[in-house]
Amino acid sequence: MLGQGGFGIVHEVVSKKNGNTYAIKTMRLPRNLSAQEKQQAEIDVLTRVGRCLNICTLYEVFKTPGHIHMVMEACTGGTLASRLTDKGDGNYSEARVAGLMRDILRTVAQCHMCGVVHRDIKPENFLFHHDGEGAPLKAIDFGLAIYAPRGTMLTERCGTSYFMAPEVVNRSYGPEADVWAAGVTCYLLLSGRLPYADDDLSNFDPESIFRKITSDPLDLTSGDWQLVSEGAKEFVRSLLDKDPRKRPTAVQALQNPWVREGGEASAKQEDTLSSDVVRRLQMFGTFNVLKKALLRQLAAKISNSGDPQVMRLRELFDKLGGTEDSVSFAQFREGLRALVAEGGNHLTDAEVWGMASQLEAEPDECAALFLSSNDEAASLTCPDIKFEDLLASLLNWETVQKRADWRGMVEALFAEMDADSSGELELEELAAVLPGESLAELKEIVMEVEGASNGRIALPEFMAMLSPQTADTLMLYPANGSAEWVGEAR
Q: Which DSSP state fits 55?
A: B
20: which DSSP letter? -
Give yes or no for residue 450 having a pLDDT over 80: no
Query: Which is more confidently placed, 302 or 166?
Result: 166
Which candidate, 217, 212, 259, places its Cα nearest to that of 95? Answer: 259
pLDDT band at 448 (very low <50, low <70, confident <90, very high): confident
> Residue 16 — very low, low, confident or very high, per pLDDT cuts 50/70/90?
confident
d(CA 195, CA 212): 9
CA distance 185 to 402: 40
User: What is the third-level CATH fold of 3-73?
Assistant: Phosphorylase Kinase; domain 1 (3.30.200)
Condensed to tens digits (0 to 9), the pLDDT of residues 387-430 reads 888 888 888 888 888 888 889 999 999 999 999 999 999 988 99
Which secondary-structure segment (H or E) carries 15? none
Q: What distance in Å separates the CA atoms of residue 55 and residue 47, rounded to the nearest whole number?
A: 10
- Provide the 3-class DSSP secondary structure of residue 415: helix
Give the CA radius of gyration of the chain.
Answer: 23
What would be the CATH architecture of the domain defined by 80-268? Orthogonal Bundle (1.10)
Q: State the Cα–Cα distance between residues 376 and 378, nearest whole angstrom.
A: 5
**Taking the domains of the chain in order of start, what are their residue ranges?**
3-73, 80-268, 273-472
pLDDT at 488 over 50: no
Domain made up of 273-472: CATH architecture: Orthogonal Bundle (1.10)
**Range with lowest mean pLDDT among 29-33, 100-104, 318-322, 430-434:** 318-322
**Residue type, position 382, single letter:** C
Phi, psi of 356 (to 5 degrees): -65, -40
Which residues have CB under 8 Å from 260's CB, separation 6+?
102, 254, 266, 475
Q: What does the pLDDT average to over 254-269?
A: 77
Nearest to 165 by CA among 110, 92, 247: 247
Average per-residue pLDDT in the chain? 81
C-alpha 28 chain-centroid distance:
26
pLDDT at position 125 is 92
Q: State yes or no: 17 annotated in a binding site.
A: no
CA distance 358 to 350: 13
Determine the Cα–Cα distance for residues 129 and 83; give it in Å rounded to an integer: 13
Question: Known catalytic residues?
Answer: 120
Specify the pLDDT at position 85.
Answer: 60
Q: How far is CA 308 from CA 145, 294, 315, 322, in A?
A: 42, 22, 11, 18
Angle (CA) 357-360-362 rounded to 5° is 100
The DSSP string of 263-324 is: STTS------HHHHHHHHHHHHHTS-HHHHHHHHHHHHHHTTS--HHHHHHHHHHHHTT-BT
Residue 65 buriedness (CB in 10 A; 0-12 / 13-18 / 19+): exposed
- pLDDT digits over 217-247, tens only? 999 998 778 889 999 999 999 999 999 999 9
CA torsion angle for 321, 326, 328, 332 (degrees, to 10)? 40
CA distances for 177 relative to 87, 163, 166, 424, angstroms: 28, 9, 8, 36
Higher pLDDT pick, 85 / 95: 95
The tens digit of pLDDT for each residue in 56-78 reads 888 889 899 989 999 988 888 88
